[in-house]
Chains A and B, each alone.
Chain A
Amino acid sequence: EIVLTQSPDTLSLSPGERVTLSCRASQSVSSSYLTWYQQKPGLAPRLLIYGASSRATGIPDRFSGSGSGTDFTLTISRLEPEDFAVYYCQQYDTSSQYTFGQGTKLEIK
């Protein structure tokens, strides 16, 4: 099983700041199958980034993803108030198994 470790667990930032979230895999992940989600309290997760760097439909361009192999990042170029949420990375492997990272909580400073 591929384990995804996100860092940090929590980040306290202010609107307008730039932030980079990290997702590290225990073994190499195909970039095609690395995904990021955003989850707000009481709501289902929302798809943000797929294929490590492609934005999902309707996602603002302040969100970007990058990385390859075992190291992936999600960057928000300029935080808006609605961006404060929990972010999860997720991978899919060739044995048809999916795993999620433990999540990074982005909170308002």
Chain B
Amino acid sequence: EVQLVESGGGLVQPGESLRLSCAASGFTFSTYWMSWVRQAPGKGLEWVANIKQAGVDKFHVDSVKGRFTISRDNAKNSLFLQMNSLRDEDTAVYYCVRGGRNGTFDYWGQGTLVTVSS
């Protein structure tokens, strides 16, 4: 059974940093693209970043470029999101997501809440 379990969310002040982690199991992690998708309270879904299998090719949405960095450790079946210079508008539930066929997100974690507030 595919499982994605996020951790690392919490309450931080604007300008601070946070590192999210995602522990993957139930599939061969190193053979899949992985992504982070977020959802602000009461709002829709926004793709944040993704990373190819080897961890070299990475893509980020414009609103987080230069502040967030996605990475992975295939030996530990783990995905990360380093978030620096956090802003109020980064407040959201952050989902760890597996990249499926045809540019889909086929498995989702339960999400971890990041709240940026002074």
Given A100-B44, A103-B44: A32 touches B102 (CB 8 Å cut-off): yes
Count of inter-chain pairs, beta carbons less than 8 A: 63
Contacts of B106 in A (CB 8 A): 47, 56
Q: Which of A14-22, A67-75, A77-85, A90-98 contacts B (4 or more CB under 8 A)?
A: A90-98
A100 pairs with B45, CB closer than 8 A: yes
Name which residue of chain B comes closest to A47, CB basis: B106
Contacts of B95 in A (CB 8 A): 44-45
Contacts of A98 in B (CB 8 A): 35, 47, 50, 103
Contacts of A102 in B (CB 8 A): 44
A44 pairs with B111, CB closer than 8 A: yes
Q: Does chain B have a CB within 8 A of A50?
A: yes
A50 pairs with B102, CB closer than 8 A: yes
Q: How far is the CB of A7 from chain B (nearest CB, A)?
A: 14
What number of A residues sit within 8 Å (CB to CB) of B?
25
Q: How far is the CB of A58 from chain B (nearest CB, A)?
A: 11
B105 pairs with A91, CB closer than 8 A: no
Name which residue of chain B comes closest to A52, CB basis: B102
Name which residue of chain B comes closest to A101, CB basis: B44
A96 pairs with B105, CB closer than 8 A: no
Q: Does chain A have a CB within 8 A of B108?
A: yes
Residues on A lying within 8 angstroms of B by beta carbon are 1, 32-33, 35, 37, 39, 44-47, 50-51, 56, 88, 90-92, 96-103
The list of the 4 closest CB pairs from A to B, nearest first, reads A92-B103, A44-B108, A98-B47, A33-B103
